[in-house]
Amino acid sequence: MRLSVEASTDPADYQFTHAIRVRFAETDAMGVVHHAAYLPYLEEARVAYLRHLGHPYVTIQDEGIDFSVLECFVKYERPLRFDEVVDVHLDFASATRATFQVAYLLTVGDERVATAATVHGSVDREGRAARTPEWVQSLLGTMAEQTRG
């Protein structure tokens, strides 16, 4: 297991927030979001953050790199429901030469819905391990600083 980041429950610890409205297709008959639907929310927020930083994912791919998800952890606090707007807060929390970790906090208003963390491996076009771009190191935020002491 590579995952070593514990997601903060304080929105102020996160560098970026992306809002997503829960779609009907993501819910069950009671209007509750299926647990697997949270993973695309994390991905959408990551891709939006990279675009916001001037590194759209298509540009990263054009440079011959992909960021594969190696591990994922979600701690569910309360269910999301149809038509709620969930804020996905994220922070690039740690990085090595070939991997990096992202921490997430999902909230609706002031209410915590879930925390999560993902581990990503940098790979080349053939799927072999590759060096993580140096600019990823510059994304390390508040949680990385707390981890370093």
Secondary structure (DSSP) of 65-115: -EEEEEEEEEEE-S--BTTPEEEEEEEEEEE-SSEEEEEEEEEETTEEEEE
pTM: 0.90
Q: What b-and-e string marks burial along 5-36, b requiring 16 or more CB atoms within 10 Å of the CB?
A: bebbeeeebbbbebebebeeebbeeeebbeee
Answer yes or no: is 1 within a domain: no
pLDDT in tens, 1-57: 788 889 999 999 999 999 999 999 999 999 999 999 999 999 999 999 999 999 999
Answer yes or no: is 4 within a domain: no
Would you please indicate which residues are annotated as catalytic (active-site) residues?
28
Answer yes or no: is 46 within a domain: yes
Range of the domain at 109: 11-148
pLDDT in tens, 44-93: 999 999 999 999 999 999 999 999 999 999 999 999 999 999 999 999 99
What CATH number has the domain bearing residue 116? Answer: 3.10.129.10
Answer yes or no: is 68 within a domain: yes
Answer yes or no: is 2 within a domain: no
Number of domains in the chain: 1
